[in-house]
Amino acid sequence: MMRVLGGVVVAILVTGTPAAAQQFTDSTLQRAVQLMTEGQGDSARALVRARLAATSRSDSLYPEALFAAGLVAEQLDSALAAFRRVGIEYSDSHWADDALLRTAQLTFAARDLVASRRATDRLLSDYPLSEVRAVAAYWAARVRLEQGQVDEACPYLSQAEREAGEDVELANRARYYLQRCAVPVADAAQAPPPSRGRFAVQVAAVGTPAAADEVMQQVHAAGFESRVVQEDGLFKVRVGRFRTRQEAQQAQADLRRKLGGTPFIVEESP
């Protein structure tokens, strides 16, 4: 199944990290990314294809053009293929670490945790001077939290908070998850499993993994844990597994107050 990304790639992955402010040296690629942010994806991709066709693979511009191809890609697989080529074939270029970060973010959104972990680990191992190390540490922690490895996630969260610098949003997101580290790991391991009730609150239903991850970040920033359920070709962001409708209604009211929108209650199979 083709997983369409559209302009959300630029909206999510081009913003919010230090290297995202990195200017393309080529005016054609700058124009392509600008067109993508304006919703003109076909035109953006045409410009990038033309630049790639006119550029030798040995030219220092080629990995830059590949990176741009990842940003303007229409399908998830195309974006990942471009970023992975930058990270593997042009690992010495100054685009490689950022390409690895985009790979980690996209694969995390697509719930490929193994690939996401591999990308963050390589970035942190191979690029000690990278400007995106703090962001990579955050995503390395997120992967481990999703895999239930709280003890391994905590040092990465501390690193993300410590190295965030002027990125206040990143530091705050790391602090939010660091709350889990306040409980001794031994106690966390002995804690009872979370309730798996019938009711949940659906916050959004979006068409791409990256868009779902954006919603999840907003939900997490508001103090709620969320998850994604893929149904009917959509990625549905939901909060909670409540045993009673009354509990779900309380969460629904809290979500509406903090996030706005129209969250609603859904009934799931136990």
How many residues are given for the chain? Answer: 270
CB 197 within 8 A of CB 241: yes
Give me the CATH code for the 8-182 domain, please. Answer: 1.25.40.10
Residue 182's pLDDT is 67
pLDDT at 211: 77
What pLDDT, on a 0 to 100 scale, did the predictor assign at position 196? 55
Residue 62 is predicted with a pLDDT of 96
Question: What does pLDDT average to in each consecutive run of 10 residues of the chain (270 residues)?
Answer: 41 41 78 86 93 94 94 88 93 91 89 92 91 93 92 94 89 89 50 61 84 79 80 84 88 89 85
pLDDT at 149: 92
Domain boundaries, the chain: 8-182, 199-267
Q: In whole angstroms, how far apart are CA 187 and each of 21, 144, 225?
A: 42, 18, 20
**In this structure, which CATH number among 3.30.70.1070, 3.40.50.10700, 3.50.50.60, 3.40.50.720 belongs to the domain 199-267?**
3.30.70.1070
Class of residue 104 by CB neighbours under 10 A (exposed 0-12, middle 13-18, buried 19+): buried
Provide the pairing of β-strand 234-242 with 199-206.
antiparallel
